[in-house]
Amino acid sequence: MTHDEFPTDNPALVTCGLPYANGDLHVGHLRTYVSGDAFSRALRTLGQRTAFVSGSDMHGTPIAVNAEQEGVSPEEFALRHHEQYEETFPRFNVDFDNYGHTHDETNVELTQAFVRTWEENDHVYEKEIQVAYDPEADQWLPDRYVEGECPYCGEHARGDECDEGCQRHLEPGDIVDPVSTLTGNPAEYREREHEFLRLSEFQEYLEGFINRLEGTSNAQNQPREWIEGDLQDLCITRDMDWGIDYPGDGEDDLVLYVWVDAPIEYVASSKQYSERVGTDTYDWEEVWRDGDSEIVHVIGRDIIQHHTVFWPSMLRAAEYNEPRAVCATGFVNLNGKAFSTSRNRAIWADEYLQEGFHPDLLRYYLATAAGFERDVNFSWERFQERVNSELADVVGNFVNRALLFAARNFDGTPDAELTDETETRIAEAMDDYEDALNDYDVRAAGETAVALARYGNEYIQNAEPWKLDADEAAPVIRDCVQLVKAVAVLLQPITPEKAEEAWDQLDADGSAADATVGDCLQATPDSFAEPDGPLFEKIDDERVAELNEKLEARVEEASADEEEGETVESGEDESESESADVEALVEERVGFDDFEALDLRVGRVDGAEGIEGADKLARLTVDIGVETRQIVAGIKQLHDLDELPGTKVIVVANLERAELFGVESNGMVLAAGEDADLLTTHGDAEPGTRVK
């Protein structure tokens, strides 16, 4: 690794965090992949030799659990998602040089080789720990396979984390009164030998590493708490079948912890690339161990610790090169709030494409909406605004008016010298672009292109070539055509296909994808035809309204479903139970205390009206004795709202407030089944009476 400015003479490697093969991709994921792809493309425009790789993360408990629920093997389950990802990325012009997965042979072999080296160099030791065991299922219970009481705060907690109480991380063996999530039976603790990587011995190394690490500042700052505190050794094995076998004697069914084999996929994937194109073109061993290289990891900001603590230690222990930079992207919010995949409050990758939008529009939005590490808000309104006013009005319009004028009046590039002013302006943009990339600032790099197009619009407007004769107009149009070329080159990493279109309209040699920054000032073709149309179409208001309606209807449907199917305790992540005729009984029993925690009251509906735009939701005003509440319920189509006032209902009075379809709901009205058959009282209990 060096800290020389890009481009360097060394091979670079850009990687993206592995998507977990467990669900669909949404625009939150895409932000990371688009950023990584744009950065790697941009490095190439600087002339940097670069490979861009990633792969699917196939192992771990959530996949094993979900596969079991679906009744398929973990491998089948994970492969299905892997294939889906592999198809989806290119559709967004995220073009990996190699995209593998952690369960393929290359990664398995490499991972085991890593571990053997660690063992040889004494970076690993065995320790007996207490692990929960389900005697009935005859199975070990790692991580989330076990629940129980948090030893610190006494709250109900998952095996790996006190998710409801104090939020502390729990080590295997910590949890009190463990219960198997497989069978619901009490689990017992048994002694078990596990392998540990001596992270603690890398403390000093990591302190140095974190200070020389480049990339985004969050990646440098967030892990300080760990690195400068006491580092725990990392338990690198799990009692599972699904995963990569711990190398060695093989009598145990220990597999490696997913965070061991996952980042090694970066190595494996680059190795596969190397094997495909030949080591003369790209030598993975040069990159990872034998030579100098520039390794840049692009990840989401939720996995910073893994890439700045575990991973560099793993590399160091195996005598591999360390990364030069870790770039951690912020999250994407939807209309100001976090995505909720269980509530279907997300913009899915497939959905976006099905709407017929060009992938480059979303790429532009995600890559330039805010700084790399800042969170980005997504809304269809904002999407429209940025596409229309920046891509269509500024970039598209400039390219179109310049090339059209040039083709009509000069059949191509006019025979004139580039003016000093424009040449300087373009040269400045090229410098800004290079500086931006050396700051790992994809957004700023993209803005250089838009700024250039903006300059072009001002320039052509002020010069008014349409009022000039041909000789006078020639230098102006000559400049504009050059500006178009520069815009195409500089925007290529972010909107590759659209840049290619501009390149073709210009009839320039080769392709925009192969262009380098220097081409911004290279001559443009003497002749080209009129462009076949503007690069970007505008999105009209009706379309945005339609998209928002779809989104809201979907979210409302999902939350209405959730509301109906809600059981007492909803701490579980996602319950995608197929609705059979009658739902199976919940096996897990709750204590009387848990029941008493619910404040159920008799209420009387005072008013009911539908919520505009929502299919199912109704806004109810309910008198619960002490006060009158506004409650939103998914009963609009199922009841005659006008007849509801006066009806007595049962209300969960101390349910968290929620906002449904923009309306606050302060409580929940209980109803049975799909038809939302309202619960009422048999006698004449007054509103406010507690239900026990």
Burial of 593 (0-12, 13-18, 19+ CB in 10 A): exposed
Four-CA torsion 296, 287, 495, 517, nearest 10 degrees: 100
CA 33/CA 446 separation, integer angstroms: 16
Work out whether 11 is an interface residue with RNA (CB under 7 A): no
**In a 3-state reduction of DSSP, which class is residue 224?**
helix
Residues 6+ apart with CB under 8 A from 156: 147, 148, 149, 150, 164, 165, 571
- With residue 485 as reference, give the H or E element that holds it: helix 470-491
Stretch that binds RNA, among 180-188, 282-290, 393-401, 513-521 (CB under 7 A): 393-401
Give the Cβ contact number of residue 98 at 10 Å. 22
Cβ–Cβ < 8 Å for 37, 358: no
Give the Cβ contact number of residue 356 at 10 Å. 7
Among 2, 69, 121, 167, interactor with RNA by CB under 7 A: 167
Work out whether 52 is an interface residue with RNA (CB under 7 A): no
CA 330/CA 202 separation, integer angstroms: 28
The nearest distance, CB 371 to RNA, in angstroms, is 3
Question: Total binding residues for RNA by CB under 7 A?
Answer: 86
The nearest distance, CB 160 to RNA, in angstroms, is 6
Q: What 3 state SS string does 603-658 have?
A: EEEEEEEECCCCCCCEEEEEECCCCEEEEEECCCCCCCHHHCCCCEEEEECCCCCE
150 marked among binding-site residues:
yes
According to CB under 7 A, which residues from 578 to 607 bind RNA?
Answer: none
CA 643/CA 294 separation, integer angstroms: 70
CA 115/CA 117 separation, integer angstroms: 5
327 marked among binding-site residues:
no
Cβ–Cβ < 8 Å for 603, 624: yes
Output 313 or 666, the one with its CB closest to RNA.
313
In this structure, which amino acid lies at residue 142?
P
15 marked among binding-site residues:
no
DSSP, res 186: B
Work out whether 160 is an interface residue with RNA (CB under 7 A): yes
According to CB under 7 A, which residues from 354 to 383 bind RNA?
Answer: 369-371, 373-377, 382
According to CB under 7 A, which residues from 282 to 311 bind RNA?
Answer: 299-306, 309-310
Cβ–Cβ < 8 Å for 159, 145: yes
Among 36, 396, 493, 667, interactor with RNA by CB under 7 A: 396
Work out whether 180 is an interface residue with RNA (CB under 7 A): no
Cβ–Cβ < 8 Å for 2, 63: no
According to CB under 7 A, which residues from 238 to 257 bind RNA?
Answer: 238, 257
Work out whether 434 is an interface residue with RNA (CB under 7 A): no
Work out whether 393 is an interface residue with RNA (CB under 7 A): yes
Output 534 or 603, the one with its CB closest to RNA.
534
Among 321, 329, 482, 524, interactor with RNA by CB under 7 A: 329
Give the DSSP letter string of 406-435. Answer: HHHHHSSS-SSPPPHHHHHHHHHHHHHHHH
Output 367 or 649, the one with its CB closest to RNA.
367
Question: What is the number of H-type helices and E-type strands within the chain?
Answer: 21, 27
Output 217 or 527, the one with its CB closest to RNA.
217
Output 401 or 478, the one with its CB closest to RNA.
401
- With residue 556 as reference, give the H or E element that holds it: helix 541-565
* Binding mask of the shown chain, residues 194 to 233, with x at each position contacting RNA by CB under 7 A: -----x-----------------xx--xx-xxx----xx-
**In a 3-state reduction of DSSP, which class is residue 433?**
helix
Output 501 or 623, the one with its CB closest to RNA.
501
153 marked among binding-site residues:
yes
According to CB under 7 A, which residues from 445 to 504 bind RNA?
Answer: 454, 457-458, 460-462, 464, 466-467
CA 484/CA 32 separation, integer angstroms: 28
Stretch that binds RNA, among 166-174, 282-290, 419-427, 675-683 (CB under 7 A): 166-174
Stretch that binds RNA, among 58-66, 103-111, 579-587, 646-654 (CB under 7 A): 58-66
Among 92, 202, 364, 405, interactor with RNA by CB under 7 A: 405
Among 1, 62, 335, 663, interactor with RNA by CB under 7 A: 62
Work out whether 29 is an interface residue with RNA (CB under 7 A): yes
* Binding mask of the shown chain, residues 649 to 678, with x at each position contacting RNA by CB under 7 A: ------------------------------
Work out whether 414 is an interface residue with RNA (CB under 7 A): no
According to CB under 7 A, which residues from 263 to 282 bind RNA?
Answer: none
Work out whether 161 is an interface residue with RNA (CB under 7 A): yes
The nearest distance, CB 432 to RNA, in angstroms, is 12
CA 292/CA 285 separation, integer angstroms: 10
Round the CA-based radius of gyration of the chain to a whole number and report it.
30
Output 209 or 339, the one with its CB closest to RNA.
339
Work out whether 535 is an interface residue with RNA (CB under 7 A): yes
State the binding site.
150, 153, 162, 166, 341
> Which parts are annotated binding residues for ATP?
341
